[in-house]
């Protein structure tokens, strides 16, 4: 069994999940740094961290949507709660995008662009981003749609049906990866439907993990160590790049590998000495994801105006600024949403037949 210090504080129960959220957000930050500045690199597959977020989302929302008061709450109220949870931070990201567009174009963006960002209304324009002011917003819309499907349909389905849906979704996802060349899709008008396939598998797989938590968690807690979660997660993102594994075949396997990573993070305990760091990573994860892209796009514009040797420094400063901004905003009401209350801590779901 893990040392006693790993288990002595019940408040640390889901801190590893919190830490993994932050690590995944940092992976997305590094991916966008690579694409905007280097055109690739060792973080070239870190767009798959979005799929990791989907699995985490399905896993952590089962208690609040299917247990206790959540099981008796109407669908409309639950969906409204999720919208008000996510909207303020994405609105801030949209405002940063407006400032960037105004500075670069010398004019305010169109009303259509502003309303698109503020109202979660995608613009389907061929191969252009569906949220031009803050591109990562597409995945938050996909998650909101998954939340809606959860409260309207998924929470009424049995475990066997969910397993079947997850399997069918993964097979469809695999076919999509082979057709598209990778799973890096969903942010543009032509690939919006493929983004829905990504969230379908990840979110449903997370729900299955949550429903079966009581069956596997005790065994995992006895035999697995906390450091396996971040180590395996990093390996799943980086090793296929280093080994030049084609994304068409490697991406679906990587996403499948995220399932045991979430299971480890949900069962293992971190050492007491890392509790504050884990909590901080979890706290900045959503603000960092929601706000980093306009900051990096600003760095892209600035880097074009300085000698190439200084471009890396500009992007490093932008990454640091993104983390600092996320830290500051995470302490405000914006990070919790309008009228939001903290989600209940994990309560193992009853075993489904």
pLDDT at 31 over 90: yes
Considering 39-53, 106-120, 241-255, the range whose residues carry the highest mean pLDDT is: 241-255
Of all residues in the chain, the percent with pLDDT exceeding 90 is: 75
Query: If you ran DSSP here, which 8-state letter would residue 344 be given?
Result: P
Phi, psi for 129 (deg, rounded to 5): -55, 140
Model confidence at 351, pLDDT cuts 50, 70, 90, reads very low
Say what the pTM is: 0.91
| DSSP of 89-141 | HHHHHHHHHHHHHHHHHSSPPPHHHHHHHHTT-----TTSBSSTTSTTHHHHH
Helices (H), strands (E): how many in the chain? 13, 0
Distances (CA, A) of 186 to 105, 126, 140, 245: 26, 12, 11, 22
Would you list the domain boundaries of the chain?
4-89+133-185+197-335
pLDDT score for 350: 43
Burial 322-346 (b: 16+ CB within 10 A, else e): bbebbeebbeeebbbbeeeeeeeeb
Q: What is the mean pLDDT of the chain?
A: 90
Judged against a pLDDT cut of 70, whether residue 348 lies above it is answered with no
């Amino acid at each position: 069994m893990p040392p006693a210090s790993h288990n002595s504080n019940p408040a640390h129960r889901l801190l590893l999940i919190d830490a993994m959220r932050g690590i995944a957000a940092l992976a997305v930050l590094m991916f966008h740094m690579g694409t905007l500045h280097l055109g690739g690199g060792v973080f070239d597959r870190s767009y798959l961290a979005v799929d990791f977020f989907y699995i985490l989302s399905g896993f952590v929302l089962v208690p609040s949507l299917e247990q206790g008061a959540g099981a008796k709450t109407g669908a409309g109220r639950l969906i409204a709660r999720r919208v008000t949870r996510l909207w303020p931070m994405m609105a801030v990201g949209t405002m940063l995008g407006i400032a960037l567009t105004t500075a670069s174009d010398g004019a305010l963006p169109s009303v259509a662009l502003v309303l698109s960002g503020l109202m979660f209304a995608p613009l389907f324009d061929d191969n252009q981003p569906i949220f031009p002011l803050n591109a990562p917003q597409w995945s938050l819309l996909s998650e909101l749609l998954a939340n809606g499907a959860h409260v309207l349909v998924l929470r009424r389905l049995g475990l066997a049906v969910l397993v079947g849906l997850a399997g069918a979704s993964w097979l469809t996802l695999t076919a999509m990866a082979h057709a598209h060349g990778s799973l890096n899709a969903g942010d543009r008008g032509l690939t919006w439907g493929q983004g829905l396939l990504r969230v379908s598998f990840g979110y449903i797989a997370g729900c299955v993990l949550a429903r079966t938590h009581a069956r596997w968690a005790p065994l995992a807690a006895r035999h697995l160590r906390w450091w396996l979660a971040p180590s395996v997660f990093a390996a799943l993102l980086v090793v296929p790049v280093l080994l030049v594994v084609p994304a068409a075949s490697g991406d679906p396997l990587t996403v499948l590998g995220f399932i045991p990573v979430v299971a480890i993070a949900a069962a293992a305990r971190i050492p007491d000495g890392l509790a504050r760091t884990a909590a901080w990573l979890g706290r900045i994860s959503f603000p960092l994801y929601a706000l980093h892209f306009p900051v990096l796009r600003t760095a892209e514009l600035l880097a074009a105006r300085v000698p190439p040797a200084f471009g890396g420094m500009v992007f490093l400063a932008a990454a640091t600024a993104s983390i600092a901004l996320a830290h500051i905003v995470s302490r405000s009401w914006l990070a919790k949403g309008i009228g939001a209350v903290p989600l209940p801590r994990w309560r193992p779901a009853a075993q489904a037949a």
